[in-house]
Every structure is written in C-alpha cells, then in structure tokens.
C-alpha cells in the first residue's frame, strides 16, 4: 500500500470554493433549491404566514389538493431504453401557437401580495420561456399595464363573470384590444370555496394592519417594506374589496353563469375560449357541444369544492370522449416536471401550474419564478429522455398507469 503524504498547498487551494460574485446571494440561494418543494420551503420562510397560507392552502379539509398531488405520486411509467434520446423537443402547439414548453402559468388572484413584482414578474418569465400566462380577473396589475410591461408574453385573460355583465364585457373588450389571445372562463367558482386558513389567519383583502400583524412585520420586514413602499396592493380590475377572497367571489360574481353564456362570450370576444374547472365527463361533453376551443380539467387546485374528483384520474376518459373536438388541459397538484410528463402521457395537451410559480414568486420575485421554470423544464426534459421519448407526441403514446388502478 502506498504511504500517506501531506498534500501540497497547490493541490488543496483549487478545491476551496470561492464565492461566485457574478450571481447575487438570492440567485445562489435559489440555485441550491433542487425541487419546487425546496422553493416552497424558501417561500415559507420569506413570506408572512397569512400570505404563504393564502397561496399554499385549499378549501375545507384540503383533501382535494392532497389527492391531486398524491395521484402524481402513484404514476408509474414503463421506461423504454435503447432509444436515441440525444435530441429532445419540448415544444407543443397550444391553441394554434407553438409553446416552447408543455406548461402554462395559470391565472392566480392577488399575485402582488406574494411579491411586489407580481404579475409582471410572472409574465416576464413566461415571455422568456416562450409559454403562455393567464392574467386573473382578480389580478393586481391591470390588463393594459401588463400588456405594456410584457408585450412579448403570450397573454391570456381569465374571466370571472360579475353580476354586472357590463363590467365583464368591459374587461373582455380591454383584453381583446390589448392582445390577449385566449379567454379562460373559470366555471368552478359559482361561489367562493371555504378556505379555512384564510379565516384562521384573518386574511382579508386588502390585508389589514392589526397588532398581530405588527409582530409578523418584525419577522418579515423585507416583505412589509416592499409592500408599503410600492404601488398599493389592490385589485386592478375590480372596485370591490373587503372580507376574505372567498367572500369576495361570492359577493361579486354571478352564480347564474350557464352554457348559454358562451354565446354572449363569443359576441364579446374574438379570440380562443377555454373553460377552466371542468370536473366530469358530462361537462366535458357539454363544453365540446358548446363549441369552446379548450377545457381545463381542474378543481381549482382544491380551492373550491373539497372532495371533488382527481383531475389526473379523470383525464384518460375525458380525452377519449372529447379529445378530437376540444383541446384538453389539466391542472392541480403539479409540483414537478415528472408530473407534467405524466399529464401528457395520460393525454393532456399541456398542464397549467399555479402554486409552483407562486412559491417562486414568494421565494425571490422574478428570480424565484425563473428558478421554478428552470427546475420544471429540466425535470420535463430529463423524464422524457429517461422514459425513452423525444417529443411530446411520443410522450402521449408512452406506457403509463396509476398504481392501484387497473
């Protein structure tokens, strides 16, 4: 056996890591996040509890969200090997246009509460990554401001129909005129879901300053400094506020929206129409009959009805029933690129993600959203290669099943 020796300084010095001054501390911290779950942990530390809970939470017992996430843990691919996967193409056609990646940033309300850069940051990353972004009716950046800030982003507008139809028509007209190409009509929100964390945390819109808030401020001074020194946190497309988001949804929006309103939407909207919140084969068939361009199988990330069915479990049946007539998308519970590949393998055209990018926003504004997009992209690419597929079309024919189901 060779004897030991003292290493020479010239051998040891190159092994000592030096701080990389080309990247900020935030970027380095984000780079150490290996998964969207890690970004979530970072978000939890950085944002005040009520803010984190608003994004992270769901309705009632939160079983719908837990089950949606659990379904992705039950996915089982049959990987194929001995295939040339050197070149992988992640592009997919979404409502008539190429998207660079098979996911979309879903509409989320009150986004500037997560980070003062809000919708602008999310749209900027969407533009850089070549994917669509849906601005919510409950957004905190106006339709026009977002269009001006991110003219290159593919922008969609998500509509909640207010009781005052004139105001919904106004929103559609403004989005149409400023280049939003798809209207997402969310149909799972006849009334607001019961979100217990918001009640327990006393989260009202706008957030109120109380004694307990002051204690929170001491723990999260950066967040409060940002909120208090930037544009006031208000809805951009809504004059009403007060109460929890659930209260607001119930008070302002029309629970009487039906299939007949699609004709009214077509009269007021020139672009594509997507129904988000379809939760049964029967409603998917109804949507196809109504002639919409796309549906999203979604239970609103478990934030509306609790104990609803699981979108991933419903997906194959719905694709078989209506996939030739409407584009079928899915969301709810997606936390990794493997989840996205699974959704494609079960027949979705692409997946929408909500919380994943919100965790990024809370963890580090635009940089955080960018990190989440990078993680998802890398995981999609790697999973595709490891199951032996080179294109999204090939993923759709890959063998996959859910454990515990025939």
Ligand X SMILES: Cc1cc2nc3c(=O)[nH]c(=O)nc-3n(C[C@H](O)[C@H](O)[C@H](O)COP(=O)(O)O)c2cc1C
In angstroms, what is the minimal distance from the CB of 137 to ligand X? Answer: 6
Contact 113, 53 (CB under 8 A): no
What is the H or E stretch that residue 93 is in? strand 92-94
Q: Is 116 one of the annotated active-site residues of the chain?
A: no
CA 43, CA 359: separation in Å to the nearest integer?
5
Regarding 360 and contact with ligand X (CB under 6 A), the answer is no
Residue showing tokens 């009640």 = 199
In angstroms, what is the minimal distance from the CB of 12 to ligand X? Answer: 47
Binding residue for ligand X, selected from 112, 220, 276, 370, defined by CB under 6 A: 276
Question: Could you tell me whether strands 327-331 and 351-353 are parallel, antiparallel, or unpaired per DSSP bridges?
Answer: parallel
Q: Which C-beta is closer to ligand X: that of 186 or that of 389? A: 186
Within 121-160, which residues bind ligand X (CB under 6 A)? 136, 138, 158
Residue showing tokens 């009269």 = 267
Within 161-200, which residues bind ligand X (CB under 6 A)? 186
Regarding 354 and contact with ligand X (CB under 6 A), the answer is yes
CA 26, CA 230: separation in Å to the nearest integer?
20
49 three-class SS? helix
Regarding 304 and contact with ligand X (CB under 6 A), the answer is no
Binding residue for ligand X, selected from 350, 353, 363, 395, defined by CB under 6 A: 353
CA 168, CA 324: separation in Å to the nearest integer?
31
Task: Annotate 321-341 with b (16+ C-beta within 10 A) or e (fewer).
Answer: ebbebbbbbbbbbbbbbbbbb
Selected range binding ligand X among 142-150, 203-211, 278-286, 332-340, rule: CB under 6 A: 332-340
Regarding 117 and contact with ligand X (CB under 6 A), the answer is no
Residue showing tokens 């993680």 = 375
Surface-to-core class of residue 361, CB atoms within 10 Å of its CB (0-12 exposed, 13-18 middle, 19+ buried): buried
Regarding 99 and contact with ligand X (CB under 6 A), the answer is no
Regarding 207 and contact with ligand X (CB under 6 A), the answer is no
Q: Which C-beta is closer to ligand X: that of 302 or that of 388? A: 302
Binding residue for ligand X, selected from 108, 117, 201, 389, defined by CB under 6 A: 108
Regarding 301 and contact with ligand X (CB under 6 A), the answer is yes
Q: Which two three-digit tokens encode residue 353?
A: 């993600």
Selected range binding ligand X among 100-108, 162-170, 216-224, 229-237, rule: CB under 6 A: 100-108
**Sign of the Cα pseudo-torsion (284, 285, 291, 294, in order):** positive
Residues making contact with ligand X (CB under 6 A): 54-55, 106-109, 136, 138, 158, 186, 276, 298, 300-301, 303, 331-334, 352-356, 358
* Residues marked as catalytic: 300
């Amino acid at each position: 056996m060779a004897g030991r020796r003292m290493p020479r300084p010239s051998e040891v010095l190159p092994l000592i890591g030096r701080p990389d001054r080309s990247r900020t501390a935030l970027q380095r911290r984000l780079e150490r996040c290996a998964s969207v779950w890690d970004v979530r942990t970072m978000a939890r530390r950085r944002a005040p509890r009520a803010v984190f809970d608003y994004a992270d939470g769901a309705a009632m017992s939160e079983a719908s969200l837990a089950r949606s996430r659990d379904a992705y843990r039950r996915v089982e691919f049959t990987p194929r090997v001995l295939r040339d996967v050197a070149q992988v193409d992640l592009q997919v056609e979404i409502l008539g246009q190429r998207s660079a990646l098979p996911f979309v940033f879903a509409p989320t309300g009150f986004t500037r509460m997560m980070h003062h850069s809000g919708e602008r940051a999310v749209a900027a990353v969407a533009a850089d990554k070549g994917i669509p972004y849906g601005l919510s009716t409950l957004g905190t950046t106006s339709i026009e401001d977002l269009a001006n800030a991110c003219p290159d982003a593919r922008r969609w507008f998500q509509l909640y129909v207010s009781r005052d139809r004139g105001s919904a028509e106004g929103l559609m007209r403004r989005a149409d005129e400023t280049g939003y190409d798809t209207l997402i009509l969310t149909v799972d929100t006849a009334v607001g879901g019961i979100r217990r964390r918001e009640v327990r945390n006393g989260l009202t819109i706008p957030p109120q300053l109380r004694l307990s808030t002051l204690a929170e401020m001491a723990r999260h001074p950066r967040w409060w400094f940002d909120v208090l020194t930037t544009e006031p946190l208000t809805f951009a497309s809504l004059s009403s506020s007060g109460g929890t988001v659930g209260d607001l949804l119930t008070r302002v929006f029309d629970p009487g929206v039906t299939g007949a309103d699609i004709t009214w939407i077509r009269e007021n909207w020139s672009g594509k129409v997507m129904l988000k919140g379809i939760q049964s084969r029967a409603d998917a068939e109804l949507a196809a009959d109504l002639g919409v361009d796309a549906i999203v199988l979604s239970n609103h990330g478990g934030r509306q009805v609790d104990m609803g069915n699981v979108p991933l479990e419903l997906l194959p049946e719905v694709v078989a029933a209506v996939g030739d007539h409407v584009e079928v998308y899915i969301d709810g519970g997606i936390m990794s690129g493997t989840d996205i590949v699974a959704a494609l393998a079960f027949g979705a055209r692409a997946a929408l993600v909500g919380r994943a990018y919100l965790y990024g926003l809370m963890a580090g504004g635009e940089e955080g959203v960018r990190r989440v997009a990078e993680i998802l992209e890398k995981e999609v690419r790697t999973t595709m290669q490891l199951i032996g597929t080179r294109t999204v079309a090939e993923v759709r024919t890959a063998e996959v099943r859910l454990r515990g189901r025939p």
